[in-house]
Amino acid sequence: METAIKTSKVKDQLISEFETSKLFLFGNTQLRDKAMESFNIQGIPNYKHEEYKYTRIDAMLKGEFNFSANKNCSDEQIEQLKFLKDAYTVIIENGIFVESLSNSHNLPKGLTICSLLDAVKSDSPVFEKHYAQYADVNADPFIALNTAMTKDGVFIHVAKNTVIEKPIHIIHVSTASQNTIINPRNLIVVDENAQAKIIESFETIDSTAKIFCNALTEIVIDERAIMDHYKIQDENTRLKDGQDLGYLMNTTQVIQKTQSVFSTHTFTLSGTLVRNNLTIVMDGEHIESNLNGLYLTAGNQVVDNHTLVDHRKPNCNSNELYKGIIDGKSTATFNGKIFVRKDAQKTNAFQSNKNILLSEAGTINTKPQLEIYADDVKCSHGASTGKLDEDKIFYLRARGLSPESAKKLLMHAFASEVVNTVKIAPLQEYIEGKIFKVFELKS
């Protein structure tokens, strides 16, 4: 068996793994078969694929891969990742929900947190209704792959009229001693007039081989519900030897209903390759969607944010702000699509992408795309890329600041517009601390 897959392509490895393991995977086999069929047709995208030409996932998916854990973290290592002291914590280690380290019992009324496996076992009607209904397997090969091969993840349900004040922190932690592909999958359902704050952090620790984490989260926000969502992608900072091992493909598929408010924040602080596909479908009137992002890249990192905001009904507002600081030979990509459908009159849709390029060898690709089919709308988009402003640096130096602290202050000022959108104070502090460390290295 080992020798048979040694020479095969990763796509073939995935297909053969699916065939041998599918009887043991949970849930609807028909759905999985359909998804695998779609993955087989789409394949792993290469440079010819318009949506992936700057992010060569195919180039890193070379060699031999495992599809389940070959190594575990110690409890102490996991404990260290719980940077929010007052939160409901969910641990997903190498794509598997760890019940013993997660808060899934004694939860407040109206809040359910359990593994996908348990959600299936308990015949949860909410889970049945929403699972795999929004992320379209034919839209993207990694949605297809995740849908076909996922083994576990978390199901979170906030029942009607329930307000969960404490944040829920989902920690995805990966570690491997052999090259591994994992496909964690989450479903979050916030019912009518309910409220929740959910943080997903992604960490790769103590690894000696490549990990490709193909994570997918579907989020359903019902009428008048309010949800704040945060993604903290900090993939390989804890690697002692500085090897590049954390690869993250992160799909977030959101559906919003009438009068709901959803704010999402994506902080990409490290990681060899991070690709975010964020899609928000605004399927109702008077919806508000806020999309914020900050990426700090260096070395040979590749960070790619693809966002899609789909205005389907009238009277909705979307606001998008992504900012990046690019250093070294790294590449950052921002691709922001906004669809305003024919029925979506009185839409307000704003988008902005701003970048600072610190090095000659860094690359930024920015592509705003607006497709507007309604005639009574207000939409704007803008993109800018520049260096740190020399006049500002001189002004600060003329007051006694070293060039290093002048640069740090300016980078901090640039990032703060995004960091200030974080509404959970301890989380904001944590992010501040993280980016401060990154700026120390840069200046």
Partner 1 sequence: MLSIKNLHASIDGKEILKGINLEIKAGEVHAIMGPNGSGKSTLAAVLAGRSEFEVAEGKVTYDGIDLLELSPENRAREGVFLAFQYPIEIPGVSNVNFLKTAINEIRAYKGLEPMAAKDFLVMLKEKQKLVELDAKLTSRSVNEGFSGGEKKRNEIFQMAMLDPKLAILDETDSGLDIDALRIVANGVNKLKSKDNATIIITHYQRLLDYIVPDFVHILYNGKIVKSGHKELALELEEKGYDFIKEEIKA
In the complex, the residues that contact partner 1 under the rule CB under 8 A are 391-392, 394-403, 405, 409-410, 412-414, 416-417
Nearer to partner 1, 128 or 440 (CB): 440
Token representation of residue 144: 């297809």
Residue 66 gets which letter from DSSP?
B
Q: Nearer Cβ to partner 1, position 192 or 417?
A: 417
Q: How far is the CB of 295 from partner 1 (least distance, A)?
A: 17
In sequence order, which residues have a C-beta less than 8 Å from that of residue 235 and are 6 or more positions away? 202, 203, 204, 246, 247, 248, 270, 271, 272, 274
Kindly tell me which of 309 and 358 has the beta carbon lying closer to partner 1.
358
> With respect to partner 1, which residue has the nearer C-beta, 340 or 419?
419
CB of 410 to partner 1, least distance (A): 7
How buried is residue 305: exposed, middle or buried, by Cβ count under 10 Å (0-12/13-18/19+)?
A: buried
Pick 29 or 420: Cβ nearer partner 1? 420
Q: How far is the CB of 377 from partner 1 (least distance, A)?
A: 29
Indicate the residue among 18 and 414 with the shorter CB distance to partner 1: 414
In the complex, minimum distance from the CB of residue 285 to partner 1, in angstroms, rounded to a whole number: 35
The residues near 271 (Cβ < 8 Å, ≥ 6 apart) are 202, 204, 233, 234, 235, 236, 246, 247, 248, 301, 303
* CA-CA-CA-CA torsion sign (12, 13, 16, 18): negative
Count other Cβ atoms within 10 Å, centred on residue 385: 17
User: Shortest Cβ distance from residue 412 to partner 1 (Å)?
Assistant: 7
Please give the helix or strand (H or E) that residue 148 lies within, else none.
helix 141-149
Q: Min. distance of Cβ 325 from partner 1 in angstroms?
A: 13
As measured in angstroms, the least distance from the Cβ of 362 to partner 1 is 21
Cβ-based nearer residue to partner 1, 149 or 411: 411
Task: Select from 211, 242, 431, 255 the least CA-distant residue to 328.
Answer: 242
288/417 with CB nearer partner 1: 417
What separation in angstroms does the CA of 248 have from each of 6, 172, 275?
Answer: 23, 11, 6
Q: How far is CA 55 from CA 44, 148, 245, 273, 425, in A?
A: 12, 23, 16, 8, 34
DSSP category for residue 387: P
Q: Among residues 49 and 408, whose Cβ is nearest to partner 1?
A: 408
Tell me if residue 441 falls in helix, strand or coil.
Answer: helix
Minimum distance of partner 1 from residue 135's CB (angstroms):
36
User: Please, which residue, 165 or 390, has the CB nearer to partner 1?
Assistant: 390
Query: Which lies closer to partner 1 via its Cβ, residue 108 or residue 403?
Result: 403
Structure tokens at 308: 């899609």
Minimum distance of partner 1 from residue 290's CB (angstroms): 19
CA dist., res. 310 & res. 281, Å (int) = 5
Shortest distance (Å) from residue 392 CB to partner 1: 5
**Shortest Cβ 320–partner 1 spacing (Å):** 19
**Both tokens of residue 206?**
């103590």
Of residues 188 and 415, the one with the C-beta less far from partner 1: 415
SS3 content of the chain, % helix, strand, coil (to 5): 25, 35, 35
Chain centroid, CA 166 distance in Å: 21
Helix 141-149 to helix 29-42 angle, to the nearest 10 degrees? 150
How far apart (Å, rounded) are the C-alpha atoms in residues 156 and 200? 12
DSSP 8-state code for residue 286: S
- Amino acid found at 245: L
C-beta of 395: minimal distance to partner 1 in Å? Answer: 4
